[in-house]
Amino acid sequence: MLSLPCPFCGQRDETEFLNAGPAKSARPNTDVTDSKWVEWLTVPANPIGYVEEKWWHARGCGKWFTIKRHTVTHEIKMPDEDDE
Amino acid sequence: MGYQATIEKQGMWAIFDIKGDASAAAKRIAPLGLSLPAGTNTAKAKGGQHLCWIGEDHWLLLAPAEMENELLERLDPHHSSIDCRIVHVSDAYTLFTVTGQQADDILAIASPLDTRRKNFPNDGAAYTEFFGIRGLVLRRPDGYLAAVERSYADMISAYFDKISTGSR
């Protein structure tokens, strides 16, 4: 089970949270090509390494926050921490 | 297997949901003689009232039902110039007390909350998962007080019966 760092409550078990998917890069400009738009909209990054994700503390304080999670080890880091 | 714990469904409590920034909330509750809790996920208790800091700019005030009219008058939810929303939500919750030597064991089954005192101190109060739904857990000297949405009360009572008696 994951233990996630809620900014308000501190470490809590994964079952108190809902995953809200990848924290996307900035929305492309309106002059972007269709293929680039579809890629941004529907293709999540899936590297071997850290991905940024949004989580909602739905069964807790209700806070939304972003973390970095390693897709292999599930190690959790804050977005401002280095990947290494 | 049974547990040495007593679980009791409580009658009505007076409950108020308070949202706003801390300075505004402090002004609104000042007429009650209460101050805001110092730490997140803790409660300030006075005269049977428990003011729980349960989210960012979010507090829940619990008090015995007989104080409800007095609290309504003092908090004056609908007529304040201070930008802090107070909603009377007594009907929305059902409360349970879990007391006794093995109250911690019952809580450990009901919730993933880490109730060790270094993580959930004597004045601890937090929303957490409670039998799969969102519930408020408040530590008391004799055990715990838990509040869940009223529509789930029968389900929670049934879960408590199952785990406290060991019936399957």
**Domains of chain B (ranges, CATH numbers):** 6-10+92-165 (3.30.1360.120), 13-39+47-91 (3.30.70.1400)
Residue to mutate among A13, A17, A65, with most B CBs inside 10 A, is A13
Question: Which residues, numbered 19 to 58 in chain A, qualify as contacts with chain B under a Cβ-Cβ cut-off of 8 Å?
Answer: 58
Q: Specify the pLDDT at position A66.
A: 96
Q: Identify the sign of the CA torsion A6, A10, A12, A16.
A: negative
CB atoms A61 and B54 under 8 Å: yes
- Quick one: closest CA in A to B60, which residue? A61
Q: Measured at the alpha carbon of residue B108, what is the angle toward residues A68 and B47, in degrees to the nearest 5?
A: 100
| Cβ–Cβ pairs < 8 A, chains A and B | 45
Residue A53: is its pLDDT beyond 80?
A: yes
| Per-residue pLDDT at A24 | 78
Per the CB < 8 Å rule, is B40 touching A8?
Answer: yes
For B79, the token pair is 């007529």
Hey, are the CB atoms on B128 and A60 less than 8 Å from each other?
yes
State the pairing for strand pair B49-55/B43-46: antiparallel
Altogether, the residues listed in chain B come to a count of 168
Q: Which domains does chain A have, with CATH numbers?
A: 3-77 (3.30.2270.10)
pLDDT at B167: 65
Task: For residue A59, give the nearest of B40, B55, B127 by CB distance.
Answer: B127
DSSP letters of B142-166?
A: TEEEEEEEGGGHHHHHHHHHHHHH-
Contact A16 B40 (CB under 8 A): no
* Residues A9, B40: C-beta atoms closer than 8 Å: yes
ipTM of predicted assembly, 2 dp: 0.90
Look up the pTM and report it: 0.90
pLDDT in tens, chain B (168 residues): 688 999 999 999 999 999 999 999 999 999 999 999 999 999 999 999 999 999 999 999 999 999 999 999 999 888 778 889 999 999 999 999 999 999 999 999 999 999 999 999 999 999 999 999 999 999 999 999 999 999 999 999 999 999 887 665
How many CA atoms does the CB half-sphere of B150 hold within 13 Å? Answer: 10
pLDDT of residue B132: 95
Q: What are phi and psi of B29, to 5 degrees?
A: -90, -5
Question: What's residue B16's pLDDT?
Answer: 97
Specify the pLDDT at position B51: 97
